């Protein structure tokens, strides 16, 4: 059996621990509440893979898709590439709720009639010149192609959509004009053989089909003398100049400056694409498309111009202020982790900083209040001593003083607050001394 003082000490220690845990428990509940609230606003971790719809496997979109694939692989993000017939099929995949496609390439102007609020643009990437090659006498515009066999690209392709718009305003789509759905290589070979009268391409200057036809005898490249009019009628088009000799200095190809018109290639995404992946794609776009080219100056792309769809919030910030601060100096996954943690840390700090001051004060108040509440009874006895009291009443006061002292002696008090306890005992002794003088008098 432990002695009474030891048992009493154990009881006091237990009471103190309970008091401490009650105070800490309130603080823990508040911290957990702030954590749960912050958790609702934290973006989930970005997926480590995405699906990109490109274009024909021998085309420029697919080639760029492969380069995006290599760049994102450095940050541990894999891209699954899916070839397609072109821009319109890419849009169809992105708007299909059953599709798992996340991003894709789009030729500006091909989806102007598509109502797809679930899609956003990540920006324009580069110019895609429209090349119109033809056989026969020189012509000044597309109206000179009436009545010919014209290759305008396969169904669902961007070149076909653009060709139909431009040929229509030139009244060159109805019979006897014959429009053929040939892809780039087929169209180039057919025109080189003389099987068709013209072919339209949307492609970079160094694409195989363009290079082949620029070197083919009897094939001419259309010089858009009304290029400015096209850009006014179709705002997604830009007037470009192919300088003399730009294709081949030795052979002087072309032999004079040629005016072309061009839409831009855009990167399109679902609106719910994870923001971190959107920024990662735009960083890759800056790496791939920022250099000067035959038709653009350094830093012109990627840009926010000629977008058929509204820019995403991430793209707007990127083109205004550049990549997020953390992604400039930290690896992708580390930057994303810190970025996500800040959303949780800030609310927690907003709770923890005040609690660091409130909890000790609350604990101190609770401990001291156990002592201070006895002052009311002590004051009551002291006031009664001011009055005329009988001997019986004075003895009752003495008993009450002893009970107060007994109760206070059992108050669990940490050592840091012992001064308050001993001070109260001194006050009890002062009142007791007055009471004894009254009783002796």
More confident of the two residues 133 and 112: 133
SS (H, E, C) the chain: CCCHHHHHHHHHHHHHHHHHHHHHHHHHHHHHHHHHHHHCCCCCCCCCEEEEECCCCCCHHHHHHHHHHHHHHCCCCEEEEECCCCHHHHHHHHHCCCCCCCEEEEECCCCCCCCCCCEEEEEEEEECCEEEEEECCCCCCHHHHCCCEEECCCCCCHHHHHHHHHHHHCCCCCCCCEEECCCHHHHHHHHHHCCCCEEEEECCCCCHHHHHHHCCCCEEECCCCCHHHHHHHCCCCEEEEECCCCCECCCCECCCCEEEEECEEEEEEECCCCHHHHHHHHHHHHHHHCCCCCCCCCCCCCECCCCCCCECHHHHHHHHHCCCHHHHHCCHHHHHHHHHHHHHHHHHHHHHHHHHHHHHHHHHHHHHHHHHCCHHHHHHHHHHHCCCCCHHHHHHHHHHHHHHHHHHHCCCCCHHHHHHHHHHHHHHHHHHHHHHHHHHC
Per residue in 239-291, pLDDT tens?
999 999 988 888 898 999 999 999 999 999 999 998 889 989 999 999 999 99
pLDDT at 195 over 60: yes
Q: Above 80 in pLDDT, residue 413?
A: no
* pLDDT bucket at 180, cuts 50 / 70 / 90: very high
Q: From CA 5, how far away is CA 11, in angstroms rounded?
A: 10
Q: How far apart are CA 116 and CA 157, in angstroms?
A: 18
Local confidence band at 128 (pLDDT 50, 70, 90 cut-offs): very high
d(CA 288, CA 65): 11
Full-model pTM: 0.68
Q: What is the pLDDT of residue 1?
A: 45
- Answer whether 374's CB lies under 8 Å from 406's CB: no
Mean pLDDT computed over 110-131:
87
Report the pLDDT value the prediction gives residue 27, as an integer from 0 to 100: 61
Whether the per-residue pLDDT at 12 is higher than 90: the answer is no
196-222 confidence digits (pLDDT tens) = 999 999 988 888 899 999 999 999 999
In this prediction, residue 23 has a pLDDT band, given cuts at 50, 70 and 90, of low
Q: Greater confidence, 346 or 215?
A: 215
The average pLDDT across 146-167 equals 93
What mean pLDDT, rounded, does the chain reach?
Answer: 83
In this prediction, residue 425 has a pLDDT band, given cuts at 50, 70 and 90, of confident
Q: Which of 20-34, 277-291, 330-344, 423-437 has the highest mean pLDDT?
A: 277-291
Spans of all domains in the chain: 4-37+360-440
Q: What is the pLDDT of residues 36-72, one digit of tens each?
A: 655 555 556 688 999 999 998 888 899 999 999 999 9
pLDDT band (50, 70, 90) for residue 9 = very low
Closest CA to 116 of 87, 83, 92, 84: 92
């Amino acid at each position: 059996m432990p002695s009474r003082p030891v048992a009493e000490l154990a009881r006091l220690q237990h009471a103190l621990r309970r008091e401490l845990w009650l105070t800490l428990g309130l603080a823990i509940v508040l911290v957990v509440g702030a954590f749960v609230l912050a958790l609702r606003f934290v973006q989930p971790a970005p997926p480590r893979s995405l699906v990109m719809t490109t274009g024909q496997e021998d085309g420029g979109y697919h080639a760029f898709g492969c380069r995006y694939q290599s760049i994102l692989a450095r940050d541990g993000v894999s891209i699954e590439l899916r070839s397609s017939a072109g821009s319109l099929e890419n849009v169809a995949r992105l708007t299909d709720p059953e599709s798992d496609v996340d991003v894709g390439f789009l030729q500006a102007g091909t989806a102007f009639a598509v109502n797809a609020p679930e899609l956003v643009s990540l920006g324009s990437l580069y110019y895609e010149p429209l090349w119109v090659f033809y056989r026969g006498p020189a012509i000044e515009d597309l109206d000179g192609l009436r009545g010919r066999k014209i290759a305008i690209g396969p169904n669902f392709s961007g070149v076909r959509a653009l060709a139909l718009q431009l040929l229509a305003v030139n009244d060159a789509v109805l019979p006897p004009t014959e429009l053929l759905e040939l892809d780039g290589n087929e169209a180039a070979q057919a025109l080189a053989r003389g099987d068709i009268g013209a072919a339209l391409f949307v492609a970079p200057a160094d694409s195989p089909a363009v290079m082949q036809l620029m070197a083919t005898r009897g094939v001419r490249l259309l010089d858009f003398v009304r290029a400015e009019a096209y850009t006014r009628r179709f705002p997604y088009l830009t007037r470009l100049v192919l300088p003399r000799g730009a294709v081949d200095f030795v052979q002087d190809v072309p032999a004079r400056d040629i005016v072309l018109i061009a839409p831009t290639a855009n990167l399109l995404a679902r609106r719910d694409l994870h923001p971190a992946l959107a920024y990662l794609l735009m960083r890759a776009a800056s790496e791939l498309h920022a250099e000067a080219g035959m038709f653009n100056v350094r830093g012109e792309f990627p840009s926010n111009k000629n977008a058929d769809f509204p820019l995403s919030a991430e793209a707007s910030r990127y083109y205004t202020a550049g990549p997020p601060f953390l992604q400039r100096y930290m690896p992708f996954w580390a930057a994303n982790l810190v970025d996500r943690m800040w959303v949780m840390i800030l609310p927690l700090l907003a709770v923890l900083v005040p609690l660091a001051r409130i909890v000790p004060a609350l604990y101190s108040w609770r401990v001291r209040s156990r002592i201070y509440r006895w002052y009311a009874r002590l004051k009551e006895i002291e006031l009664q001593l001011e009055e005329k009291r009988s001997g019986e009443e004075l003895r009752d006061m003495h008993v009450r003083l002893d009970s107060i002292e007994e109760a206070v002696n059992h108050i669990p008090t940490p050592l840091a607050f012992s001064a308050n306890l001993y001070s109260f005992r001194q006050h009890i002794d002062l009142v007791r001394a007055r009471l004894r003088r009254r009783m002796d008098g």
